């Protein structure tokens, strides 16, 4: 299964810096023989510029979120069909920062995933436990519940990607042990996704403080289908270093 390395720029980059980053990645990708799917998810207003900067390269572009409605009175939101119209391939949905900052529920994430699929996008559905939940031994219950509540019927390995991102590892420099990553990815594939009939072939990304120095060992784990990368996606050197670490 080809790994997917997706960069989540979050609320970073402006016109000049975002364009330069995208052009740098497009150049690297055009010169590389590495077989990995590469995507960047810039802030929504930058999407047309980043699509332009990465055209004629294998770098794909995604939105960081989408609304569940196709249009209407939803100030500040972006529809999945507009993302698709602009040329996006992916939409991240249910990132823990949106679940925390905007109170997004599993039901809303499910509706967003449905909207992404209806628009022809690949949905990157984020799940992950807090540190307190892991310490209480509840990581699998939490992640299993999020998958149950956030995945609509009708997704396939070609249209849905899961990103397992322990909340306590995002932006902290901390990561779970390799054994813990392997265990929860195995749980997601064999239990949580299997009950949706999706266990085989669906990519499960790991996200949370992935950087060039730890990417190779994380990406070598069976069941880790790639990485969702925040901070380290903001320089060509770091992001490309992660891509180069794909086995
Ligand atoms: C993220 O926010 O999706 C993420 C994984 O961030 P970081 O790589 O900075 O931990």
119-136 pLDDT tens trace: 999 999 999 999 999 999
Q: Indicate which CATH number applies to the domain containing 28.
A: 3.20.20.70
> Tokens 């390995």 appear where?
157
* Percent residues over pLDDT 90 in the chain: 96
Query: CB count, 10 Å around CB of 181?
Result: 21
Q: What is the whole-number distance in angstroms between the Cα of residue 227 and the centre of ligand 1? A: 9
Coil, strand, or helix at residue 92?
strand
Q: What is the whole-number distance in angstroms between the Cα of residue 169 and the centre of ligand 1? A: 8
What is the C-alpha to C-alpha distance for residues 121 and 91, in angstroms, rounded to an integer?
A: 7
Considering the entire predicted model, what is its pTM? Answer: 0.98
> What is the pLDDT, as a whole number, of residue 34?
86
> What is the pLDDT, as a whole number, of residue 151?
96
- Give every CB contact of residue 99 below 8 A, 6+ residues apart in sequence: 105, 109, 126
> What is the pLDDT, as a whole number, of residue 182?
98
- The response to whether residue 171 sits with its C-beta less than 6 Å from ligand 1 reads yes
- Give the count of domains, the chain: 1
Coil, strand, or helix at residue 39?
strand
Ligand 1 atom with minimal separation from the 163 CA? 3
Mean predicted confidence (pLDDT) in 218-228:
97
Spatial CA neighbour of 35 closest among 212, 228, 225, 247: 247
Output the residue whose Cα is nearest ligand 1's atom 8.
230
Q: What is the whole-number distance in angstroms between the Cα of residue 8 and the centre of ligand 1? A: 7
Among residues 67, 104, 165, 185, the one annotated as catalytic is: 165
156-168 pLDDT tens trace: 999 999 999 999 9
> Tokens 């294998």 appear where?
58
67-79 pLDDT tens trace: 999 999 999 999 9
Among residues 67, 95, 104, 185, the one annotated as catalytic is: 95
> What is the pLDDT, as a whole number, of residue 74?
98
Residue 101 host element (H or E): helix 96-101
165 is catalytic: yes
> Tokens 């999706």 appear where?
198
Buried b (16+ CB within 10 A) or exposed e, 112-131: bbbbbbebebbbbbbbbbbe
- The response to whether residue 233 sits with its C-beta less than 6 Å from ligand 1 reads no
Range of the structural domain that residue 143 is part of: 4-244
Output the residue whose Cα is nearest ligand 1's atom 3.
230
> What is the pLDDT, as a whole number, of residue 197?
86
From residue 164, alpha-carbon distances to 18, 28, 119, 204, 240 in Å are 26, 27, 23, 7, 21
> What is the pLDDT, as a whole number, of residue 242?
98
Q: What is the whole-number distance in angstroms between the Cα of residue 206 and the centre of ligand 1? A: 10
185 is catalytic: no
Q: Which two tokens stand for residue 130?
A: 């807090």
What is the C-alpha to C-alpha distance for residues 175 and 56, in angstroms, rounded to an integer?
A: 35
Output the residue whose Cα is nearest ligand 1's atom 2.
230
């Amino acid at each position: 299964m080809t790994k997917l390395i997706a960069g989540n720029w979050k609320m970073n980059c402006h016109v000049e810096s975002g364009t330069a980053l995208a052009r740098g990645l497009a150049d690297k990708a055009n010169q590389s023989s590495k077989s990995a799917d590469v995507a960047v998810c810039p802030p929504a207003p930058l999407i047309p510029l980043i699509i332009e900067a990465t055209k004629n390269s294998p770098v794909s572009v995604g939105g960081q979120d989408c609304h569940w409605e196709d249009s209407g009175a939803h100030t500040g939101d972006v529809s999945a069909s507009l993302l698709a119209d602009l040329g996006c391939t992916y939409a991240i949905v249910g990132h823990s920062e949106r679940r925390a900052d905007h109170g997004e529920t599993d039901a809303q994430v499910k509706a967003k995933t449905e909207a992404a699929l209806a628009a022809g996008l690949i949905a990157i559905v984020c799940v992950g436990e807090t540190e307190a939940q892991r310490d209480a031994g509840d990581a699998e219950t939490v992640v299993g519940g999020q998958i149950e509540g956030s995945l609509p019927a009708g997704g396939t390995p070609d249209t849905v990607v899961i990103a397992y991102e322990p909340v306590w590892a995002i932006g902290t420099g901390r990561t779970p042990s390799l054994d813990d990553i392997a265990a929860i990815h195995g749980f997601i594939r064999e239990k949580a996704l299997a009950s949706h009939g999706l266990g085989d072939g669906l990519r499960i990304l790991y996200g949370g403080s992935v950087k060039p120095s730890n990417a190779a060992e994380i990406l070598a784990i069976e069941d880790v289908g790639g990485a969702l990368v925040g901070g380290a996606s903001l320089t060509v050197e770091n992001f490309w270093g992660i891509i180069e670490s794909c086995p």
